Structure 1
Amino acid sequence: MADDRTVGGTKARVPGSGLGRYVLVRFLLIIPTVFILVTLVFFVMRVVGDPITASVGGRLTPAQLQERLHAAGYDRPLLVQYAEYLGQVFTGDFGRSVTDNRAITEILVEYGTATLELVLFALVVAFVVGVPLGMLAAYLRDRWPDAVLRIFAILCYATPVFFAGLLLKLVFAVWLGWLPLSGRASPEVQLVLDQIAGSSGINILDALRTGRWDLISDVLAHAALPALALGLLTAGVFLRLVRTNLIGTLGREYVDAARSRGVAESRLVRKHAYKPALIPIVTVMGLQIAMMLGGAVLTETTFEWRGLGFQLTQYLGARDFVAVQGIVALLAVVVAVTNFVVDVIAALIDPRVRY
């Protein structure tokens, strides 16, 4: 499909055609991305041997072990196993865990909602902390508050998330006693939420549906420290991005023109330079979400937040590499699709991204 037309001897680009081609290309790139990630996960997991020997081999006789290996197909050539695994993945079957014989997709549905809730809370923290502080740092450029905020940003994204989590627990849960140590909700609150008809698995949504402030406050209190630990990691990145791009935008001609008309500097930051400075945040959002999913493993373990990351560590401890392989492969699909959505949003916001 052509996207150019000749007008007066020159070529003019047809509006919208660049966006359609960009979206199509980005969508098609999901396939090789997922293929490469799934392939890497498969062969890395096979480096340690077959999953059955690794997880339950010590509790079976040699004959029983051989029987299990043959039934699961792990005694066949590796390339044959790989081809069969690819066929299962592309039909949506990521296998079953060895230790508890559960479908990997069932595990994703049960625990994925908890991880999604944590990531959403963390994104709220990242935006609420990173964007305003980035604007403030740009407004106070080269003054002492700017230097303090830049150091704060470095500390945010350089501090290991598990260390930040332990430090937050020590201060706010142990020393001050303001917030709970771990979990997604108090046992009695979790029991009420689990009994709600059509429960979504996302505690804050279910609590809001009840309209009971005691449930809502309990869920928010349990989410505060995990969301801070994970969200500050990304808040530091957002702070630096907003500051850098806001300073660049404040030097543009249209901002200088507004400044010459007597527009206050604070208004220039809020009204004229703010939105263009947010574009880079959208473009890196996919990468930041991927980082958050990685950080969620440590965050969930630190706070006993029973999501995919927490469950992944349990399967790693049990050496259930089928479950580990399936969860990591599914997370790879989620990250690839998220990056595609973010790329489309970035192209809609900034037409320059499309070409």
Structure 2
Amino acid sequence: MTTVATKPPAQAARPARRKRPKGGGLGRYILVRFLLIIPTIFILVSMVFWLMRTTGDPITAALGGRLSADQLAERIHAAGYDRPVIVQYFEYLGQVFTGNFGTTISTNRPVSEILTTYGAATAELAFYALIVAFMVGIPLGMLAAYLRDKATDATLRIFAILCYATPVFFSGLLFKLVFSVWFKVLPVSGRANTSSELQLQLLPDPTGIYTIDALRTGNPEVIGDVLAHAVLPALALGLLTAGVFLRLVRTNVIGTLGTDYVDAARSRGVNEFRLVSKHAYRPALIPIITVIGLQIALLLGGAVLTETTFEWKGLGFMLIEFIKARDFVAVQGIVALLAVIVAVSNFIVDIIAALIDPRVRY
């Protein structure tokens, strides 16, 4: 009896390993994004310098017509503005990268002192405005997605357009009229009343952020007064960004509701509200995080008008005062700092987005 040799069964082909994209990795991504900050800041600071120099030297711009020709020439020579502009440019770059923004012409104070003193007020206002934007924009955006193509959805979209299109100074004046003049429930301007500011100034090493300093006093009246003064400026500035968040959340939640895994959850009997609030909400937040960096620039630009409207003494308020005084050294320092803040903020937002969504790294 002969046996017939049989061939062993062919082994199933192993699936090829998915190759990781070259150049990926969080560490490399962070390094590349960090290195990009340097040319970004260099370009922004250079643009500020050359745009300011189109008006001539700062001494003539600020004091021209108020000093004699000899006095003006003496001040220009003492400040070094009679040297070639290219020499002044490289000297200015060296000073900026060491934290020296020069001395104001109108008040004879170091610009770095102006930045630290009033920068805390602007940071506090921007923080409160972001809270308003999140509290208003994200829930209303989810509601608009849940009630899409209905009357409520249309109303919320119109509201978002009005928030973004209304000038900050107009909404600020409107809030002051309603809540301060008609109903008299909120302060009309400033960061705190006189008695509260006196207690804040008596603190050892005040931070300049009134909320933190008020908490340090432990006085409920001071805390309430500081928070009450922050409501209207934060509302006026925050609604500007809330309109952007509302439309962005609505669009991304609706897009996420059409994905396969949401359809699978819907087929299991999950109701629409739970689909929006649980399954489609988190993926829709990723675009929000990436847009925050751009919105910080919008907040800082809006802070100039908001601080002027409410006499909130921050960098925006002082920027207008220095422009009126033609103190272009101070203006140059403030604008350069705002440019640096925007660049660094975008870097931080990019890192957060990469941590949340690994696809961003590649």
Give, in whole Å, the separation in 1 of the partners of 2:24 and 2:252: 29
Deviations 1:193-238 (A, max 9, x none): 1212231111111112233221121111111110010000000000
- 2:307 matched to which residue of 1? 300
1:336 aligns with 2:325: no
Of 226, 230, 252, the match for 1:245? 252
Among candidates 138, 150, 155, match of residue 148 of structure 1:
155
Cα distance 1:248–1:9, how it changes in 2: closer, same or farther (>3 A)? closer
Pairwise CA distance, 1:44: 0.8
Q: Which residue of 1 aligns with 2:318?
A: 311
CA distance in 1 between partners of 2:205 and 2:89 (Å): 38
Please say which of residues 41-50 and 193-202 is displaced more in the overlay. 193-202
Number of corresponding residues: 349
Residues 225-284 of structure 1: per-residue CA shift (max 9 Å, x gap): 100100000000000010000001111111111111111211111111111111111001
Does 2:238 align with 1:231?
yes
Are residues 1:42 and 2:49 paired? yes
Query: Residues 35 and 15 from structure 1, CA distance in 2 versus in 1: closer, same or farther, beyond 3 angstroms?
Result: closer
Q: Does 1:351 align with 2:351?
A: no
Q: Does residue 1:122 correspond to 2:124, yes or no?
A: no
Report what 2:73 is aligned to.
66
Structure 1 match to 2:7: none
Amino acid at match of 1:222: H
What's the offset of the Cα at 1:15? 11
Which letter does structure 1 place at the counterpart of 2:125? L
Cα distance, 1:133–1:9 mapped onto 2, change above 3 Å: closer
SS in 1 for 2:19: strand
Amino acid in the other structure paired with 2:136 = V
Q: Distance in 1 between matches of 2:293 and 2:251?
A: 20
Q: Residues of 2 paired with 1:104 and 1:16: CA distance?
A: 42
Residue of 74, 78, 85 corresponding to 2:85: 78
What is the aligned counterpart of 1:164 among 142, 166, 171?
171
1:204 corresponds to? 211
Which residue matches 1:215? 222
Query: Is 1:194 matched up with 2:201?
Result: yes
Task: Find 1:283's aligned residue among 277, 290, 309.
Answer: 290
Q: Hey, what's the Cα distance between the residues in 2 that align with 1:224 and 1:15?
A: 49
C-alpha separation in 1, matches of 2:113 and 2:197: 20
Q: Distance in 1 between matches of 2:100 and 2:154?
A: 51
| Counterparts of 1:292 and 1:14, CA distance in 2 | 37
User: Which residue of structure 1 lines up, in the alignment, with residue 191 of structure 2?
Assistant: 184
Structure 2: how far apart are the matches of 1:89 and 1:8? 56
Return the index of the structure with the highest Cα Rg. 2
Report the more deviating stretch, 64-73 or 149-158: 64-73
- Aligned-pair CA distance for 1:17: 4.8
Name which of structure 1's ranges 147-156 and 103-112 shifts more when overlaid on structure 2: 103-112
Q: What is the deviation of 1:16?
A: 10
What is the identity, as a one-letter code, of the residue corresponding to 2:263? D
Aligned partner of 1:133 in structure 2 is 140
1:8 CA drift (Å): 9.2
Q: For 1:80 and 1:45, how far apart are their aligned partners in 2?
A: 15
What is the CA-CA distance between 1:306 and the residue it aligns to? Answer: 0.3
Task: Look up the match of 1:23.
Answer: 30
Q: Which amino acid aligns with 1:58?
A: G
Does 2:52 correspond to 1:52? no
Q: TM-score, normalised by structure 1?
A: 0.95
Structure 2 match to 1:96: 103
Q: Unpaired runs of 5+ in structure 2?
A: 1-13
1:16–1:179 distance in 2 versus 1, CA, 3 Å: farther
Q: Which residue identity is paired with 1:37?
A: L
Structure 1 CA distance for aligned equivalents of residues 277 and 17 of structure 2: 40
State how far apart, in whole Å, the 2-side matches of 1:8 and 1:278 are: 34
Q: What is aligned with 1:108?
A: 115
Alignment partner, residue 3 of structure 1: none
- SS, match of residue 109 in structure 2: coil
Distance 1:270 1:230 in 2: 27
Q: Is the 8 A contact 2:115 2:315 kept in 1?
A: yes
TM-superposed CA distance for 1:67, in Å, is 0.8
Give ranges in structure 1 of 5+ residues lacking alignment.
Answer: 1-6
CA-CA distance at 1:9 after TM superposition? 7.7
Post-superposition Cα deviations, 1:91-145, rounded to whole Å, max 9, x if no partner, equal 2211111111111111111000000000000000000000000000000000000
